Amino acid sequence: MTRLRPFSDHRRGLFISIDGPSGAGKSTLVRHLAQLLVAAGEDVHITAEPSTGPIGVLARELTETVTGHALACLYAADRYHHVETEIRPHLELGQAVISDRYVPSGLVMQRFDGLDPAFLWALNAEAARPDLCVILEADPEIIGRRLVERGAHNRFQLAPGSSHAEAHFYRQATERLIQAGFDVLRVDCGARPPERLAEVIRDRLMAFFAAPVIETPA
């Protein structure tokens, strides 16, 4: 029997983050991936950012009225609290944790408020690294149409040309993550349904992180 385990510690679970432009289908993909991993025998915990913790709730409430450095610091504070109170405890239980948004989004969204990428990187640099950082990519024109059809969820999506700007910010953030040694998987979500994309991610996880379970004597 095998289980998904990081190279550094076969006792804890695997940490996967999924980020990408608004409207790319992250939440749907997370659900499909979780179902595939459960079917493969994994115990899976799904989470998201902003988190459901007190700082995350505050961040959601203030996204429309607080801007710039203050909001970026609030999101980062939620990220560190999220790791401490939810992500790490579930990993230590041996569960695979999938987060819908994580550090990559922290490097992107506050760019709409004109913040320096170097400041955003420094703010998030001490957050726990995912074992696999999935970045969804899609044609900005397709994403733009999806946002128009469903309606904007926050003020960032109301900015003119937001889908093109967000795609550009994500490309820059992805390069920064790769340079910093993150294990990044880029996935084009424009041509394949979410269930197929989930299979691609599942296959990558199985190929790189499957480890035999060592039974301890009773």
- For the chain, the domain total comes to 1
Whether the pLDDT of residue 41 is over 80: the answer is yes
> 23 — alpha (psi -120 to 50), left (phi > 0) or beta?
left
Q: Which of 23-27, 90-94, 198-202 has the lowest mean pLDDT?
A: 23-27
Whether the pLDDT of residue 165 is over 80: the answer is yes
Task: Let me know: does 152 contact 159? Beta carbons within 8 Å.
Answer: no
Residue 85 maps to a domain: yes
Domain that holds residue 131: 2-212
Residue 218 maps to a domain: no
Per cent of the chain over pLDDT 70 is: 87
**pLDDT mean across residues, the chain:** 90
Residue 103 maps to a domain: yes
- What is the bridge-based pairing of β-strands 44-48 and 132-137? unpaired
Residue 217 maps to a domain: no
143 or 76, higher pLDDT: 76
Residue 76 maps to a domain: yes
pLDDT grade for 99, boundaries at 50, 70 and 90? very high
The residues that bridge with 188 in the sheet, in sequence order, are 137
Q: What is the DSSP letter of 163?
A: H
Per-residue pLDDT, averaged over 174-184, amounts to 97
Whether the pLDDT of residue 54 is over 80: the answer is yes
Q: How many other β-carbons are positioned within 10 Å of the β-carbon of residue 164?
A: 15
Please choose, from the candidates 204, 57, 26, 47, the residue with its C-alpha nearest in 3D space to the C-alpha of residue 128.
47
Q: Which are the contacts of 41, defined by CB distance < 8 A and separation ≥ 6?
A: 1, 3
pLDDT grade for 155, boundaries at 50, 70 and 90? low
pLDDT grade for 25, boundaries at 50, 70 and 90? confident
Residue 10 maps to a domain: yes
pLDDT, residue 211, reads 79
pLDDT, residue 150, reads 67
pLDDT, residue 144, reads 65
Whether the pLDDT of residue 146 is over 70: the answer is no
Residue 153 maps to a domain: yes
Q: Distance between CA 74 and CA 5 in Å, rounded?
A: 31
Whether the pLDDT of residue 206 is over 70: the answer is yes
Whether the pLDDT of residue 142 is over 80: the answer is no
Instruction: For residue 86, give the CATH number of its domain.
Output: 3.40.50.300
